[in-house]
Structure 1
Amino acid sequence: MINNIRYFFEKHGFKVSSRIGDRLGIKATRIRLFFIYLSFFTLGLAFPLYLTIAFFARIKDLIYTKRSSVFDL
């Protein structure tokens, strides 16, 4: 099953990895692994950044509340 999925992506992927590999002199499998690791790494960095921004947005909402009128003081 995994080989069928791999074959499908290799056949219909326009051989981007192999073109890059031919130009740089690297195997296409190494380039595919690099892209896989890069995608996991960037997702790993984006998630803590998202949580940090959400935390500070929540703190800002708790500190600065919008008042509807002057009499709400």
Structure 2
Amino acid sequence: MKRITDFIEQQSFGVCSAMGNRLGFSTRSVRLSFVYASFFTFGSPIVLYFALAFWMNMRRALRQQRSTVWDL
């Protein structure tokens, strides 16, 4: 079961695990909070999820940029 959830989380941008690690909560509790909030607010946390995924991918891309002209 753990491998399945890790695979799904890795394929779905890793937002819940990053938030859980940063805030000190378990990934499962963050994921469940997103699911419950989506049910109660008719899906509006999904917009937040995609915004966070976009932000995380932008930060990752900026970190991976070349630091000097001579890097290949």
Kindly indicate whether structure 1 or structure 2 has the higher relative contact order, using CA contacts under 8 Å at least 6 residues apart: 2
Find the structure with the greater CA-based Rg.
1
Question: TM-score category by the smaller chain?
Answer: 0.3 to 0.5
TM superposition score normalised by structure 1: 0.46
Question: Which is helix-richer, 1 or 2?
Answer: 1
